[in-house]
Amino acid sequence: MTSNLNRDAVARATARGEMSDEQHRVIQEREAIARASQRSSLSQEHRREIQERDTNARATSRRLMTLDERLELREEERLRRRYRQYKKGYGNHEDFDSMSVRGNDTLNQRHYVSRFIRGCSGDERTCAA
């Protein structure tokens, strides 16, 4: 059964790679409409149950994370939020180009890396070159 699922996933990924952007857009719109109609048919009670289940699952996964994993997740989210302003989405903070940041957190066009990444205490900052 698992090999069938993996085979199906590979087949879908291959098919997606061969699609044009227009085909992707049409499929995404169709799926968005289907999800919206499914959501509209749910009762408030069922929505609440789904929300509670998702909240509990997320809380459980966060409880099982180590401190380093939690701090890494926090830093990744902070960088994602910051780059949405610049219309540049980075999948993770290792793709981050420090020369592209302007503002209060820069000195000579160098971005100060958060103390959460570098493990510094208090207001201590480490400058990434």
d(CA 92, CA 86) in angstroms, rounded, equals 15
Q: What is the chain's pLDDT, residue by residue, as a tens digit (129 residues)?
A: 556 767 877 887 787 778 788 888 888 899 999 988 888 888 889 989 999 999 999 999 888 989 999 899 888 888 878 766 665 545 555 555 555 555 555 555 555 555 555 555 444 444 444
Q: What count of Cα atoms within 13 Å lies in the side-chain half-sphere of residue 74?
A: 12
| H or E element in which residue 111 lies | strand 110-113
Instruction: Check residue 87 and report its DSSP letter.
Output: T
Token pair recorded at residue 33: 């409409």
pTM over 0.85: no
Token output for 125: 């900052």
Neighbouring CB atoms inside 10 A of 97's CB total: 10
